[in-house]
Amino acid sequence: MNRTESAVLATARPGAGAAPSTARRAKTVACNALALVVVLVLWELGAEKMASPYFPAPLEIVVAFERLLTQGDVLGNSLWDHVGASVYRLLVGFGLGVLLGVPLGLLMGLYRGLYANTRIVLEPFRFIPPIAWIPLAIIFFTGITRYAFLIFLGAFFPIFTATMVGVGRVEPIHRKVYQVYGATKLQILRRVVLPTVLPDILGGMRVGLGTAWMTIVAAELTGGESIGLGRMMVNYSELLRIPEVVVAMLLIGALGFIFNEILLLAEKYLFRWRWQVAL
Amino acid sequence: MDMKTDIMVRIKESHRYGDFAVHDNIEFEVRENEFVCVCGPSGCGKSTLLDILAGLLVPTEGRALIQDQPIDPGRQNISFVFQEPSTLPWLNVRDNIAVGLRVKKRPEREVRRIVDDIIEVVGLGGFEKHYPHQISGGMKQRVAIARAFATDADLVLMDEPFVSLDQPTRERMQREILDIWQHRKRTIIFVTHNLEEAVFLGDRVIILSSKPARIRADTRVALQRPRDILSAEFTALRAQCAELLNELSQQAGHAVSQPARAV
């Protein structure tokens, strides 16, 4: 973060990052609870008005969820099998995205020439949606590799691009501080470049996570396997059982939300130097 | 083994960027524990001189030696206080001060002891866990100075370290730097465009001309410390240097305004 940005931040949010007082935190929780209730009420009213089997009320979702939890789905798979399969695929694909996106982003950020000389073959890939790869993925891969490949495609570019852009933020003076003491390139990478870029990497990861979830459902909709939340959705939509479809949708939303919160917590911990209160 | 000399720095070099001559035969020596101030009009290549002495830049002609060895930041102990804030925002005060020690891979216990020590000397006790954005500009510069003195640097280079500070802070820091230097003797090369500062601090004041930089004067400041900036000797010496510098600045096309502090 450069000085102007932090100055803007400081003026925009007085006491930014002050450990929020318990009262303020309680208020935030209350407001969120209220928002949730409002949405549920509106949903319930809408369902009553429509009175259609294709517009289930919230309670029907709860019932469907409970049935899925206790009895499993029509094919005899438990709900946890579906959740587990999706999360596993996501983690493998997303992990690959991080594992390749970060080092490549660092490399191309540090050696801009490398990027400038190869961008014609890199950049167009960014615009091919991962789901456009599904036909090829079905031909070339099976099982976990297929999902991993597709999710990787979704996660890689946000992480790669954010990392590469972040390297440009490294301040020459910080590098110089280390060079004066005879730091090696590796020491500078670890102690200057990485700490500078880390906020961008985590930001890229959060964006990449969104694309990864988008991709996984699409991949499971078309895949040949019998488990996975996307798969479960297709099965139930073919049976016209909307409540179960909605359960799967909400689970995807909730899981994505939890993953995002975990990354946010990591950010808060790692970048406490940005958020702690000024005296 | 080499004979131990008390000459810390020998420099004799000329430097050019392409066709543009920056330094023309800069040659001087600095004794061990000497406090040398380098003055010159803005843009005369003072920072380039420090970069050469820090081993960050190789002059196009000639060379600089520290204890008769070619300069290599990996082997020698050099430290640098920069003009702009150089604290690392993701490290707290303690870890910022320890940067040099950690690069030099000193044992953690030793790092702790040295940092504890120097934190008291620069008056940052109680702020160990603070991050740079939580402390003032003057304190940040103290962190940078503490960092420079934490390693047993053979040579401490300072590039207008107080230029961004307000006048009272600047005067206090000048006294503090002398204090630290008297506590832990080091060879210091201090670049400034403020003559009063140079005459107040230095054992010697070197005045550079500009475009290309040549050494125009190398004056010993024989005044006792602590120096009184209002004393006749101080004022006379400052005026003498100021005249020289003003002449140079006019040649370079712009006058240097002197701080109107002495009455």
Q: What is the pLDDT of residues B86-110, one digit of tens each?
A: 999 999 999 999 999 999 999 999 9
* pTM reported for the whole predicted model: 0.80
pLDDT tens, chain B, 263 aa long: 444 558 899 999 999 988 888 899 999 999 999 999 999 887 788 889 999 999 999 999 999 999 889 998 888 889 999 988 899 999 999 999 999 999 999 999 999 999 998 898 888 889 999 999 889 888 999 999 999 989 888 899 999 998 878 888 888 889 888 988 888 888 999 999 888 999 999 999 999 988 788 898 898 998 888 888 889 889 999 898 888 888 777 765 554 444 444 43
Q: How high is the pLDDT of residue B209?
A: 87
Q: Would you put residue A88 in left (φ > 0), alpha (ψ -120 to 50) or beta?
A: alpha
- Please identify which residue in the block is written with the tokens 């600045």: B249
Residue B156: beta bridge partners? B79, B188
Question: Which residues of A lie closer than 8 Å to B, measured between beta carbons?
Answer: 1, 6, 173-174, 176-184, 187, 191-192, 195-196, 271, 273-274, 276-279
Distance CA B194, CA B170 (A): 11
Residues 45-84 in B contacting A (C-alpha not used; CB under 8 Å): 54, 56, 72-76, 78-80, 82, 84
Distance CA B141, CA B86 (A): 8
CB A214 within 8 A of CB A154: yes
Measure CB to CB from residue A183 to each of B75, B103, B134 and give the nearest one: B103
Q: How high is the pLDDT of residue B261?
A: 44
Contact B88 A274 (CB under 8 A): no
Half-sphere exposure of B117 (CA within 13 A, CB side): 14
CB A198 within 8 A of CB A270: yes
Q: Which two tokens stand for residue A81?
A: 């099998």
Q: What is the pLDDT of residues A110-161, one digit of tens each?
A: 998 999 999 999 899 989 988 899 889 888 988 889 889 999 999 999 999 9
Measure CB to CB from residue A276 to each of B78, B99, B134 and give the nearest one: B134
Q: How high is the pLDDT of residue A9?
A: 37
Distance CA A232, CA A78 (A): 10
Contact A173 B84 (CB under 8 A): yes
Shortest CA gap A182–chain B (Å): 4
CB B107 within 8 A of CB B90: no
Q: Which residues of chain A have pLDDT under 50?
A: 1-17, 276-279
Distance CA A212, CA A94 (A): 7
Q: What angle do CA A187, A95, A157 make, to 5 degrees?
A: 85
CB A164 within 8 A of CB A249: no
Distance CA B74, CA B252 (A): 37
Q: Where are the alpha helices (DSSP H) in B13-158?
A: 46-53, 93-97, 99-103, 108-121, 137-150
Provide, as residue numbers in chain B, all residues whose Cβ is less than 8 Å from the Cβ of A273: 89-92, 131, 133
Measure CB to CB from residue B73 to each of A180, A195, A271 and give the nearest one: A180
What is the four-CA torsion angle of A61, A62, A68, A73, rounded to 10 degrees?
A: -20
Q: How high is the pLDDT of residue A23?
A: 87
Provide, as residue numbers in chain A, all residues whose Cβ is less than 8 Å from the Cβ of B72: 182
Contacts 24+ apart (CB under 8 A), A258-267: A259/A209, A260/A206, A260/A209, A263/A202, A263/A205, A263/A206, A263/A209, A264/A206, A266/A202, A267/A199, A267/A202
DSSP β-ladder status, B35-39 and B20-31: unpaired
CB B91 within 8 A of CB A192: no
Measure CB to CB from residue A276 to each of B56, B82, B131 and give the nearest one: B131
Contact B73 A174 (CB under 8 A): no
Contact A279 B100 (CB under 8 A): no
Provide, as residue numbers in chain B, all residues whose Cβ is less than 8 Å from the Cβ of A195: 88, 90
Provide, as residue numbers in chain B, all residues whose Cβ is less than 8 Å from the Cβ of A178: 99, 103
Provide, as residue numbers in chain B, all residues whose Cβ is less than 8 Å from the Cβ of A279: 130, 134-135
Residues 84-103 in B contacting A (C-alpha not used; CB under 8 Å): 84-86, 88-92, 99-100, 103
Distance CA A150, CA A119 (A): 21
Shortest CA gap B224–chain A (Å): 33
Shortest CA gap B222–chain A (Å): 32
Contact A278 B134 (CB under 8 A): yes
Nearest CA in chain B to A177: B86
Q: What angle do CA B122, B103, B185 make, to 5 degrees?
A: 40
Contact A178 B99 (CB under 8 A): yes
Question: Does B141 reach chain A within 8 Å, measured CB to CB?
Answer: no
